[in-house]
């Protein structure tokens, strides 16, 4: 983003910290270390005087004695202005203030909490009043982009980079990656990206995920074994939003927990809905501390502090998003994609023993478990004391602590059911890695890791029921079982159990019994009764029966999963046949053709979902449109295999069965599907993208493309730069409209010396082929499609006799108006590099190429570019050839450059001649618009509108041709249409200088050696090479003794003057000055039309008619 450099008038008065007087003279920070941008508002000015209370303390790491205790944070009240201004470091006191960003050796140390609390306690439940809302962002979002969004929203914000801002590389716990992906070998790069996208505790932006690569698949560090990734530099920063009014937490909900939940949802909504960024969800805790801004010495200039002026944040207006919904809604969450949501359904949690913990919680445990007591009794080593815990509340180690970035801390708490205000037990962890986990998942992990036996769930730590409640619970359990086994009564069950089981009972019979029970969904309490009866009546022990039950549970689970998969597969097949995008693609059940068709339908669905498609065909290659968010400019980008895999993985649902138990999981789209879609020849199902246009253009049917986005009729994608708007074009422009449009362009270019013409002559409308060709080049871009798909355009040459005449500037102005930027290329060095550059620009949809200061133009690329309506080349990174439509205008500048004979007839000439030796010495006063390029940028829409008026005028008159019809061979469509538009607008002279093309394209280059030759030539004509005073001022290219009538030989003149010229030597040369005659002639031809001022007199070179002796050349005095 562009940060305004605002110099404050005063930093002594807190109310004057920020001043809106933008002098534009200050290149450094505006206040201490901070840059100031945005617009001050009355509310922002009032904010500076308003008091704010924050907590201040120190934090250095777990159990560090320097840490401020949770109960001992200092409450500091000051004005916002003083909070911004702060004070520098002094002694052991750290620098303080939102505008300061000192150098430091470590990130830990001084920290703040953005509100006040009861008794200075840094706990969520103790937080009283909040004055700011803070966000920590390190997801891959770009700082400049986020600050742009904030400024666009008009919000006030204080931002600074974090200590590790701009660092590259991340480490992933290898065991966690393997467990989450359910693999046993080193993950591939695609699998690592899948982990980052779907399973990582941190949420990263897609662009960041796509940038990673694996440096080391396995590396041991202090914390264990990690996977080391190389990444692009990661922006890490904090955002503090001042609240319009201080928010008292307990006023935000009917209950205290409801108020804390509202704050949590508001912070989440600010990040995800208002700003659209992923963030550290621990920021939703109102007691969350933020380290004060600091940076390491190694950061160089890669750090910053920013003050954005605007409106303080209206707390009530922030959209609410539950943190659990945000955490569960990340890309790839199969449940969310299927339409589920947090709060709609708990996860199904099964213990390693096979016990259904979810069912236990629903039927028995949720309002009876005294969890805090259970943990204190059974695993006291897992209890952590933070001090001040209420009765029935304990801090614990997290069962998933192995997945945390750092171990330790008191972020995990367990609460008894009777000590929780809603009457249910709970267990939660505030660490990012545990966000979205249900309490039963923590309970299951603790049991599976051996913290205590699962029998404790049915023991003394269950709150006892009175007799009536217990009877109801037992009856409910039996009723559930009977409901699952229709027609069976309790009495029948008892009778059956007494007679059915005996010493002859086989394991198969027991297995069949429990298989039926499990299939019917029988409650655990009924199964336990069955088990007790069987153990008592048969030869099978408790362990034997438990094993049979576990086996039958596994078989039942596998059958259920297979049933679900089969039903899904059958439904998917029906949907595909009916043209409906199936819910999922089972890569282990559907054949390759089916999977490819599914992927194609996913693309079709996304292409028709919004106003613009996502996947196009450009040439014969799949492509997308990439739009620069800041500028609004766009380009065509070929879809790589990886990019298409990512797209299909994000928008499709690829599933696979994995493991012996038939578990299913969502996976990335198989790479081979993407490869096949990219390389298959038939791509007519995708919309054809002909090109990108940065301004309105006419389609082939004469309609004007004005709406940004994809235009199906023309195949063009209109991507106007930010802020660019063109006025409406009348259907039938009046003569006044047309004259005004032409005069606008005449006035813009009247100070350029078109073949020596003056401003008055140009404004008067005198015929000028050079001016007509310039406007013709300008018209070619918006009128290109009117000429037909097969039309090609000639090269435009802006030539001049000397540097500094203005050819380059003339074309830069034109580009600025047409495209909003300038794109000037140096001369090409070889055909290979030229082909790569041209082909890449054609793929990207670049509408014009300008090669500057060329000397020679030839080779094989330019002829193809100027004659073929389509251009082909090999796509980088793909083993295929791409053919794209040639929509490019080509232009050159040069001092009488040399074109090959093949190209000369394909050139349209625009000759500039200032009639002076050093035209670059003309001052700004020579131009009506001294800063003409800035003028063109500032008034771009007005000039572009004028071009559209000229074209619409021609269309409204039914496409008339010029009265003096001039046609350029091979470019009939272009010359007839552009000539007709110009003539209809009253611009004459089009193609009127064809007789001069040969003269001005047969030689060009540097002028200094030529001036040396002219000086020697003049000296020779005065006294002659052989001291013969009869020598005239005509010279032949031959040697002196080969000339006629005493004419000198110019090659001899160069030899006598010992001039080392850029001319090749003859094969028979005996010294360094034996120049080849033909090459010497081309060199002299560079000076045609040029004025040489020598000793106060002006001279020009003229070329005579060829004689038997050769071509005579003359120096002619210039008198005007």
Q: What is the pLDDT of residues 968-1023, one digit of tens each?
A: 888 999 999 999 999 999 999 999 998 888 888 876 444 468 888 888 888 776 54
**CA 712 – CA 717 distance, rounded (Å):** 9
Question: What is 773-789 written as a DSSP string?
Answer: HHHHHHHHHHHGGGG-T
Is the pLDDT at 4 greater than 50? The verdict is: no
Is the pLDDT at 477 greater than 90? The verdict is: no
- pLDDT number for residue 472: 46
- pLDDT number for residue 569: 64
Q: Report long-range pairs for 640-644 (Cβ below 8 Å, ≥24 apart).
A: 640/877, 640/878, 641/671, 641/674, 641/675, 641/678, 642/210, 642/674, 643/210, 644/615, 644/669, 644/674, 644/677, 644/678
- Segment 393-415, tens digit of pLDDT: 999 999 988 778 777 777 899 99
pLDDT band at 878 (very low <50, low <70, confident <90, very high): low
Name the least confident of 159-173, 262-276, 1052-1066: 1052-1066
516 forms bridges with which residues in the sheet? none
**Closest by alpha carbon to 595, among 510, 675, 499?**
675
- pLDDT number for residue 332: 39
- Segment 352-374, tens digit of pLDDT: 777 788 878 877 777 888 899 89
- pLDDT number for residue 924: 64
704 forms bridges with which residues in the sheet? 698
**Residue 479 to residues 364, 383, 485, Cα–Cα distance (Å):** 15, 40, 10
- pLDDT number for residue 1008: 60
> Is the Cβ–Cβ distance between 659 and 685 less than 8 Å?
no
Other Cβ atoms within 10 Å of 666 Cβ, number: 18
Mean pLDDT of the 448-474 span: 66
Mean pLDDT of the 272-298 span: 91
Q: What is the 3-state secondary structure of 26-40?
A: CCCCCECCEEEEECC
- pLDDT number for residue 773: 97
**CA 994 – CA 772 distance, rounded (Å):** 13
Is the pLDDT at 686 greater than 50? The verdict is: yes
- pLDDT number for residue 980: 95
Is the pLDDT at 337 greater than 60? The verdict is: no
SS3 267: helix
**CA 352 – CA 448 distance, rounded (Å):** 6
- Segment 37-60, tens digit of pLDDT: 999 899 999 999 999 999 999 888
Question: What is 719-763 written as a DSSP string?
Answer: -PPTT---PPPPSS--HHHHHHHHHHHHHHHTTS-BTT--HHHHH
**Residue 222 to residues 168, 357, 389, Cα–Cα distance (Å):** 20, 36, 33
Q: Report long-range pairs for 620-623 (Cβ below 8 Å, ≥24 apart).
A: 620/681, 620/683, 620/880, 620/882, 620/883, 621/678, 621/875, 621/878, 621/880, 621/882, 622/677, 622/678, 622/683, 622/686, 623/689, 623/843
Name the least confident of 195-199, 242-246, 736-740: 195-199
- Segment 528-550, tens digit of pLDDT: 888 888 998 898 998 889 999 98
Is the pLDDT at 70 greater than 70? The verdict is: yes
- pLDDT number for residue 630: 78
Mean pLDDT of the 429-447 span: 84
> Is the Cβ–Cβ distance between 733 and 952 less than 8 Å?
yes
Domains in the chain: ranges and CATH: 14-167+233-254+287-314 (no CATH), 170-230 (no CATH), 366-458 (no CATH), 467-560 (no CATH), 581-689 (no CATH), 704-1000 (3.40.50), 1008-1117 (no CATH)
Name the least confident of 192-196, 431-435, 607-611, 904-908: 431-435
- pLDDT number for residue 328: 63
Beta strands across the sheet bearing 305-309: 34-38, 305-309, 157-161, 237-248, 127-137, 115-117
- pLDDT number for residue 479: 46
Residue 717: which region, alpha, beta or left (left: phi > 0; alpha: psi -120 to 50)? beta
**CA 980 – CA 966 distance, rounded (Å):** 10
pLDDT band at 662 (very low <50, low <70, confident <90, very high): low
The residue ranking higher by pLDDT, 450 or 1108, is 450
- Segment 106-134, tens digit of pLDDT: 888 899 999 999 988 988 889 999 999 99
Alpha helices (H) along 156-298? 174-181, 189-198, 206-209, 256-269
The residue ranking higher by pLDDT, 259 or 9, is 259
> Is the Cβ–Cβ distance between 235 and 306 less than 8 Å?
no
**CA 799 – CA 153 distance, rounded (Å):** 49
Cα atoms in the 13 Å half-sphere on the side-chain side of 20: 9
**Residue 309 to residues 3, 6, 17, 267, Cα–Cα distance (Å):** 11, 11, 11, 20
> Is the Cβ–Cβ distance between 852 and 827 less than 8 Å?
yes
Mean pLDDT of the 776-799 span: 93
Mean pLDDT of the 329-344 span: 37
> Is the Cβ–Cβ distance between 171 and 228 less than 8 Å?
yes
For strands 1034-1036 and 1048-1049, give the pairing.
parallel
- Segment 842-866, tens digit of pLDDT: 887 789 999 999 989 988 899 999 9
How is residue 858 written in tokens?
């030839």
Is the pLDDT at 743 greater than 60? The verdict is: yes
User: How much is the mean pLDDT over the chain?
Assistant: 82
- Segment 600-645, tens digit of pLDDT: 888 888 888 777 898 998 877 888 998 887 777 888 888 888 999 9
Is the pLDDT at 923 greater than 70? The verdict is: no
Other Cβ atoms within 10 Å of 1 Cβ, number: 18
Is the pLDDT at 1098 greater than 80? The verdict is: yes
Mean pLDDT of the 290-295 span: 94
Numbers of helices and strands, H then E, in the chain: 34, 42
Is the pLDDT at 483 greater than 70? The verdict is: no
| Matching residue, tokens 């079709």 | 604
């Amino acid at each position: 983003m562009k940060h305004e450099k605002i110099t404050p008038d005063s930093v002594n008065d807190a109310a004057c910290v920020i001043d809106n007087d933008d002098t534009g003279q200050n290149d450094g920070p505006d206040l201490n270390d901070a840059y100031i941008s945005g617009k001050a508002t009355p509310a922002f000015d009032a904010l500076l005087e308003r008091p704010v209370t924050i907590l201040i303390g120190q934090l250095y790491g777990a159990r560090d004695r320097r840490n401020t205790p949770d109960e001992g944070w200092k409450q500091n009240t000051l004005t916002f202005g003083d909070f911004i201004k702060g004070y520098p470091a002094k002694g052991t006191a750290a620098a303080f203030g939102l505008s300061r960003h000192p150098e430091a050796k470590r990130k830990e140390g001084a920290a703040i909490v953005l509100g006040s609390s009861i008794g200075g306690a840094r706990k969520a439940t103790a937080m009283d009043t909040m004055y700011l809302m803070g966000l920590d962002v390190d997801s891959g979002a770009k700082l400049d982009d986020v600050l742009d969004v904030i400024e666009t929203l008009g919000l006030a914000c204080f931002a600074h980079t974090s200590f590790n801002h701009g660092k590259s590389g991340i480490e992933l716990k290898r065991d966690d990656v393997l467990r989450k992906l359910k693999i046993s070998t080193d993950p591939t790069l695609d699998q690592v990206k899948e982990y980052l996208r779907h399973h990582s505790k941190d949420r990263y932006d897609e662009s960041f995920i796509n940038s990673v690569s694996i440096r080391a698949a396995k590396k041991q560090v202090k914390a264990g074994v990690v996977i080391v990734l190389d990444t692009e530099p990661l922006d890490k920063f904090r955002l503090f939003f001042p609240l319009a009014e201080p928010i008292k937490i307990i006023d935000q909900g009917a209950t205290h927990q409801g108020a804390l939940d509202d704050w949590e949802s508001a912070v989440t909504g600010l990040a995800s809905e208002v700003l659209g960024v992923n963030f550290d969800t621990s920021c939703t805790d109102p007691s969350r501390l933020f380290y004060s801004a600091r940076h390491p010495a190694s950061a160089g200039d890669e750090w910053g502090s920013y003050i954005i002026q605007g409106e303080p944040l209206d707390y009530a207006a922030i959209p609410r998003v539950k943190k659990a919904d945000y955490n569960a809604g990340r890309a790839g969450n199969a449940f969310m994609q299927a339409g589920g949501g947090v709060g709609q359904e708990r996860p199904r949690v099964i213990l390693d023993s096979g016990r259904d913990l979810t069912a236990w919680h629903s039927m028995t445990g949720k309002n009876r478990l005294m969890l805090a007591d259970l943990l204190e009794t059974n695993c006291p080593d897992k209890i952590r004391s933070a001090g001040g815990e209420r009765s029935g509340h304990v801090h614990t180690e997290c069962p998933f602590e192995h997945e945390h970035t750092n171990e330790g801390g008191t972020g995990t708490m367990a609460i008894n059911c009777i000590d929780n205000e809603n009457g249910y037990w709970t267990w939660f962890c505030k660490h990012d890695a545990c966000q979205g986990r249900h309490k039963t998942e923590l309970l299951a992990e603790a049991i599976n890791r051996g913290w205590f036996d699962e029998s404790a769930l049915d023991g003394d730590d269950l709150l006892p029921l009175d007799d009536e409640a217990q009877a109801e619970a037992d009856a409910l359990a039996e009723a559930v079982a009977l409901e699952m086994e229709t027609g069976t009564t309790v009495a029948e069950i008892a009778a059956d159990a007494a007679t059915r089981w005996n010493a002859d009972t086989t394991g198969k019979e027991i297995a069949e019994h429990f298989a039926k029970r499990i299939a019917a969904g029988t409650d655990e309490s009924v199964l336990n009764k069955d088990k007790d009866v069987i153990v008592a009546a048969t030869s099978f022990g408790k362990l034997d029966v438990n094993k049979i039950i576990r086996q039958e549970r596994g078989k039942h689970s596998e059958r259920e999963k297979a049933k679900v998969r089969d039903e899904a597969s059958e439904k998917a097949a029906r949907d595909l046949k009916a043209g409906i995008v199936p819910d999922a693609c089972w890569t282990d059940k559907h054949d390759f053709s089916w999977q490819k068709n599914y992927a194609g339908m996913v693309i079709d669905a996304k292409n028709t979902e919004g106003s613009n498609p996502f996947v196009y065909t450009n040439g014969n290659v799949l492509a997308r449109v990439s739009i620069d968010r800041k500028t609004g400019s766009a380009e065509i980008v070929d879809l790589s295999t990886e990019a298409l895999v990512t797209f299909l993985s994000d928008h499709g649902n690829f599933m696979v069965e994995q493991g012996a138990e038939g578990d299913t999981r969502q996976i990335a789209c198989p790479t081979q599907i993407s490869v096949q879609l990219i390389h298959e020849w038939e791509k007519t199902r995708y919309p054809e993208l002909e090109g990108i246009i940065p301004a309105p253009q006419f389609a082939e049917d004469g309609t004007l493309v004005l709406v940004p986005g994809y235009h199906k009729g023309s195949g063009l994608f209109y991507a106007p730069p930010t802020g660019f708007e063109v006025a409406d074009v009348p259907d039938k422009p009046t003569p006044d409209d047309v004259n005004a449009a032409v005069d606008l362009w005449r006035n813009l270019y009247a100070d350029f010396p078109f073949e020596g013409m003056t401003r008055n002559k140009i404004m008067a409308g005198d015929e000028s082929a050079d001016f007509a060709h310039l406007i013709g080049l300008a018209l070619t871009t918006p009128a290109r499609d009117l000429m037909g798909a097969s039309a090609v355009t000639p090269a435009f040459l802006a030539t001049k006799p000397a540097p500094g005449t203005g050819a380059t500037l003339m074309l830069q102005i034109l580009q600025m108006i047409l495209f909003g930027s300038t794109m000037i290329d140096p001369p090409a060095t070889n055909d290979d590099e030229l082909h790569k550059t041209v082909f890449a620009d054609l793929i990207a949809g670049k509408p014009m190429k300008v090669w500057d200061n060329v000397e020679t133009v030839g080779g094989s690329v330019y002829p193809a570019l100027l004659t073929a309506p389509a251009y082909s080349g090999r796509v980088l990174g793909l083993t295929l050839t791409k053919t794209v439509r040639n929509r490019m205008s080509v232009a050159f500048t040069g001092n009488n450059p040399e074109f090959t004979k093949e190209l000369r007839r394909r050139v349209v000439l625009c000759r500039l001649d200032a009639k002076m030796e050093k035209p670059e010495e003309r001052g700004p006063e020579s131009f009506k618009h001294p800063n003409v390029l800035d003028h063109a940028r500032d008034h771009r829409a007005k000039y572009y509108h004028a071009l559209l008026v000229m074209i619409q005028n021609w269309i409204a008159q039914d496409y008339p041709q010029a009265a003096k019809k001039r046609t350029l061979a091979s470019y009939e469509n272009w010359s007839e249409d552009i000539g007709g538009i110009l003539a209809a607008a009253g611009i004459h002279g089009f193609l009127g200088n064809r007789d001069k093309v040969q003269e001005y394209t047969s030689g060009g280059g540097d002028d200094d050696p030529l001036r040396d030759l002219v000086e020697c030539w003049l000296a020779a004509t005065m006294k002659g090479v052989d001291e013969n005073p009869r020598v005239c001022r005509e010279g032949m290219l031959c040697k002196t003794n080969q000339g006629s009538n005493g004419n000198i030989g110019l090659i001899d003149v160069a030899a006598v003057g010992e001039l080392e010229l850029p001319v090749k030597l003859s094969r028979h040369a005996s010294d360094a000055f034996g120049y080849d005659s033909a090459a010497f002639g081309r060199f002299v031809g560079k000076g045609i039309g040029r004025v040489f001022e020598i000793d106060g007199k002006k001279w020009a070179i003229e070329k005579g008619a060829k004689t038997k002796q050769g071509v005579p050349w003359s120096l002619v005095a210039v008198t005007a």
